[in-house]
Amino acid sequence: MAAEVKLTFKDFKSDQEVRWCAGCGDHAILNSVQKAMAEMGVPKEKFAVIAGIGCSSRFPYYMNTYGFHTIHGRGAAIASGAKTANPDLSVWVVNGDGDGLAIGGNHFIHLNRRNINLNLLLFNNEIYGLTKGQYSPTTKEGTKTKTSPFGTIEHPFNPGELVLGAQGKYFARSIDVNMKLTQEILIDAHNHKGTSIVEILQNCVIFSDNVHGFYTDKENKLDRQLVLRHGEKMIFGTNNDKGLVLDGLKLKVVTIGENGVTDDDILVHDAHEESPFLHWMLINMKGPDFPVALGVIRSVEDTVYEEKLEAQIASVKASSPIKNMNDLLRSGSTWTV
């Protein structure tokens, strides 16, 4: 429909001064999003970037697209309305972990259930940044924050698990600093039809600095990150010699070449498998025993809310004799004086 669009990431920069702290992971994510969007072949005016409230939620102001900085927790619900009303738009939600999973938790799970074709980026810094350092639903138990001076006593959510529990069909994970991977995932999320949830592990230098440090640590990151790609083997490690195998109903890290393990024993990633069991295990992997799973972990095609709605409208319209308001007014029981 639209002519081929040639855009660069600069087209997506707005004229607003970027006001995140120096060193905040949000800067890298912003760059990744701008670069990825330039590659999507979508005209700039078709993007709608919608956010709640939080440091991360300032995002729309920095994007030279249509943007909406809404109220705390409601990004997903507002975006659901926008996309349902106007399926032609490419809708992107930016959520913090508090915004998306605390006050916005209900909209988050229902969005997944409905499978509306939009993309939601969850910037997970395990803290409330904007309000200066309270624990969030993803803060690790025991963490001392402004509202938990003696350590939190709450189990955190794992956002990916919540997606699965809510019938979610798409979940991917990246890290702020891995801009290439983030871009790759964003483009994949864009191409996926249905709700795409992308968790981005993000560093807040002020209130939860280094919270993902175990995985991002320069020295060890290759041993601590497993980047999954559909159809490829689950291999990682500095020497590319580590892999995952199934041991009963559990995953196990093995070393290729040791104990008779060969390349062929290693699991192949199937993001399209409907049954969520393996995805669940991957999402759940934690250090030190396991690497963190990155990449598109789950991507399952299913029917899409707004498409079904349009189809239902089209079919009712086709069969109904009522074509406009005047018809409706005169339908059913009437009488004339």
Partner 1 sequence: MTNKIDKVIELDHVVIRFSGDSGDGMQLTGTLFSDTSALMGSGIATFPDYPAEIRAPQGTVGGVSGFQVHFGYDINTPGDYADVLVAMNPAALKANAKWTKLGGSIIIDRDAFTAKNLEKAGYKTQDPITEDNLGRFNIISAPISSMTQETLKETGMDNKTILRSKNMFALGMCYYLFNRELTFTEQFFEKKFKKVPAVIEANKMVLKAGFNYGYNVQELTPYKVAAAEIAHGTYRNINGNTATAWGLVAAAEKANLPLFCGSYPITPATDILHELSYLKNLGVKTFQAEDEIGGITSAIGASFAGSFAVTTTSGPGLALKSEAIGLAVITELPLVIVNVQRGGPSTGLPTKTEQSDLLQALYGRNGESPVAVIAASTPSNCFHYAFEASKIALEHMTPVILLTDGFLANGTQPWRIPDMDDYPTIHPPIAKEGTENYKPYQRNPENLVRSWAIPGTPGLEHRIGGLEKMDKTGTVSYVPENHQVMTDLREEKVARIVADIPDLEVIGNDEADLLVIGWGGTYGHLLTAVHDLQKEAKSISLAHFNYIKPLPANTRDVLKKFKKIVVAEINNGQFASYLRSVFPEFTYLQYNKVMGLPFTSIELVDNFNKILEEK
Ligand X SMILES: Cc1ncc(C[n+]2csc(CCOP(=O)(O)OP(=O)(O)O)c2C)c(N)n1
Residues 16-45 that bind Mg ion (CB under 5 A): none
Considering the rule CB under 8 A, would residue 102 count as an interface residue with partner 1?
Answer: yes
Residue 285 contact among its own copies, ligand X, partner 1, none, beta carbon within 5 to 8 Å by kind: none
Q: Is 96 in the site for Mg ion (CB under 5 A)?
A: yes
Burial class, 203, CB count within 10 angstroms (exposed 0-12 / middle 13-18 / buried 19+): buried
Task: List the 250-255 sheet strands across, edge first.
Answer: 235-236, 242-247, 250-255
The DSSP bridge pattern shows strands 242-247 and 235-236 to be antiparallel
Could you please report the per-residue DSSP string of 2-42? PPP----GGGGB-SSPP-SPTT-HHHHHHHHHHHHHHTTT-
Chain position carrying tokens 């660069």? 8
State which of positions 88-117 bind ligand SF4 (CB under 6 A).
Answer: none
Residue among 13, 39, 40, 84 that touches partner 1 (CB under 8 A): 84
26 binds ligand SF4, rule: CB under 6 A: yes
Annotate 148-169 with b (16+ C-beta within 10 A) or e (fewer).
Answer: beeebeeebbbbbbbbbebebb
Candidate list 95, 115, 119, 174; residue touching its own copies; CB under 8 A: 115
Stretch binding its own copies (CB under 8 A), from 7-15, 119-127, 256-264, 269-277: 269-277
Please, what is the minimum distance in Å from the beta carbon of residue 124 to ligand X?
Answer: 8
* Cα distance between residue 277 and residue 61, in whole Å: 39
Between CA 180 and CA 174 the distance in angstroms is 10
Task: Provide the pairing of β-strand 119-124 with 292-299.
Answer: unpaired
- Binders in 198-237 for ligand SF4, by CB under 6 A: 204-207
Verify binding: residue 96, ligand X, rule CB under 6 A: yes
**Contact between 60 and partner 1 (CB under 8 A)?**
yes
Q: Pick between residue 104 and residue 276 the one whose CB is nearest to partner 1.
A: 104
- The contact set with its own copies (CB under 8 A) reads 102-103, 105-106, 109-110, 113-115, 137, 150-151, 153-158, 161-167, 246, 249-250, 275-278, 280-281, 302-303, 305, 308-309, 312, 315-316
